[in-house]
Amino acid sequence: MIKGKKFIYIASPFSHSEEKIRDERVEAVEKFVAKLQCDYAHEYVIFSPIVHSGHVSKYMPVGKFQSFDFWIGEIDNYFLELADEIWIFQYDGWDISRGVLYEINYAEKKAIPIRYWKRYDSFYSYGISPIKDE
């Protein structure tokens, strides 16, 4: 817990051979996290490795700095360790995502509560209303 707020780690799929799909995944989780932060900033600190690092990876050299091992081992594990809960954003591909499966396994081993948010009802679950495009 950070200053009386639960630290929530958002797991969502990212990697894909097509840049368009990666961009769609980033946009979807950005909207999800934005809505959560608007509605729940008073009780949760929300962290998404995709939102907070997804765009940065475009500017890093190909190789080590864009590898799964770098992001999980050098960055994400530290945030997973802080998590009071892990929320899984079930966007297309979440159930076969190497990263999401790793994060679920990590949470299970550490007995960190996991909450699943379905792609299409994620903004309706737990009292969250849908985001309206304006």
> Where along the chain do its domains lie?
6-123
In the chain, % helix, strand, coil (3-state, to 5) comes to 50, 15, 30
**Average confidence score pLDDT of the chain:** 79
Cα separation, 121 vs 17, in Å, equals 27
Residue pLDDT, tens place only, 31-88: 888 888 888 888 999 999 888 876 676 777 666 556 666 666 666 778 888 899 999 9
Cα separation, 86 vs 104, in Å, equals 8
For domain 6-123, the CATH superfamily is Hypothetical protein PA1492 (3.40.50.10400)
pLDDT of res. 63: 63
Q: Does the global pTM surpass 0.85?
A: no
